[in-house]
Amino acid sequence: MNYWLVKTEPYKYSWDDLEKDGWTFWDGVKNYQARNNLKEMKKGDKALYYHSNEGKEVVGVAEIIKEHYQDPTTEDERWVAVDLKPVEKLKVPVTLKMIKEDPNLQDMVLVKQMRLSVTPVEKKHFDYVLKMGEGK
C-alpha cells in the first residue's frame, strides 16, 4: 500500500462534500508531476485529504477506490483522474503550520513542494499526521 496527500480548495470540494457524496473522482490535475502521482495510485492506497488556501490543514483520510483513467472533464488524453472515498475525518485538523514546525515532518513532500496538488507521503509521515489528528 502507498500513501498520498491530495489537496482541494474547500469552497470547490470540501471534506464534508466527500462525506456527503460517499465518493468522488479526483480530476482537474494539470501538473505533470501531480498527474504522474495519480497514475501511481493503486486501489486501496490511502490519502491525506488537505484543504488548501482556506484552512491549510489535513482534515481526513480517503481511500483510492479506482485507479487512474481519462479525466472526464477534458478530452486531452494527457490528464487522468482517480476515484476516492472517505475513510475517516480527523478529530483535530492538522494545520500546515503544525506540520512545518514539527521536526519529524521536515522532509515531508508537502513541506518541500508546497504547490504540488498530489504528493506521495511516506508511511511514517502518514502515521504521524494521523496521530497528530487523533486518527486511527
Q: How confident is the model at residue 135 (pLDDT cuts 50, 70, 90)?
A: low
Residue 132 falls inside a structural domain: no
Kindly state the average pLDDT of the residues 53-65.
96
Is the residue at 136 inside a domain? no
Say which residue the cell 503550520 belongs to: 97
CA distance 83 to 4: 13
41 within some domain: yes
* CATH code for the domain in which residue 15 is found: 3.10.590.10
| pTM of structure | 0.95
Rg (CA), the chain: 14
pLDDT band for 25, please (50, 70, 90 cuts).
Answer: very high
Which range marks the domain in which residue 89 is found? 3-127
- Structural domain includes residue 135: no
